[in-house]
Amino acid sequence: MTVLSIDELQKIVDDAFPDWQVPRIESLDGDTLLIAQPVDARNSRPGGTVAGPTMMALADNSAWLITLAHIGPVLLAVTTSLHIDFLRKPEIADLMARARLIKLGSRLAVVDVELFSRGSTDLVAKAQVTYSIPPRATS
């Protein structure tokens, strides 16, 4: 069950990163989120590929957003672990992330992220991200 809608999640990321070219949320279906990161020369590196930090940022951002979709706007949820494997050279095109919530506990969320170029089904990177969820205030 999701708590936040696509529009609510998009507003959170837009507001949290006003000076950054933020990804656009394309779909949210239960435990799976699909987002697109526009890619241009600013995100490239020599050899005509997408820079690793751009891919890592997208993996992290997608994990954060699918976590927030389920716990609400807990903006202080933070990354505790991010492991990424770069598998093949991505195209200079929108970079897509499919984030799937694997486990949601009271203090940790574990998310599997697949990255691919728009229009391709070939994975360019695979990540596993763990988020720490701050304790909920008790009244």
The encoded tokens of residue 78 equal 């933070």
Whose tokens are 């008790």? That residue is 138
Q: What is the predicted pLDDT for the residue at 1?
A: 65
Closest C-alpha among 100, 90, 97, 65 to residue 79: 65
Q: What is the predicted pLDDT for the residue at 96?
A: 97
CA distance 56 to 1: 27
Task: List, in order, residues 6 or more apart from 82 with CB less than 8 Å away.
Answer: 56, 59, 60, 63, 127, 128, 129, 130
Model pTM score: 0.92
Q: What is the pLDDT along the chain (139 residues), one digit of tens a residue?
A: 678 999 999 999 999 888 888 899 999 999 999 999 999 888 888 888 899 999 999 999 999 999 999 999 988 999 999 999 999 999 888 999 999 999 999 999 999 999 999 999 899 999 999 999 998 766 5
Domains of the chain: 6-132 (3.10.129.10)
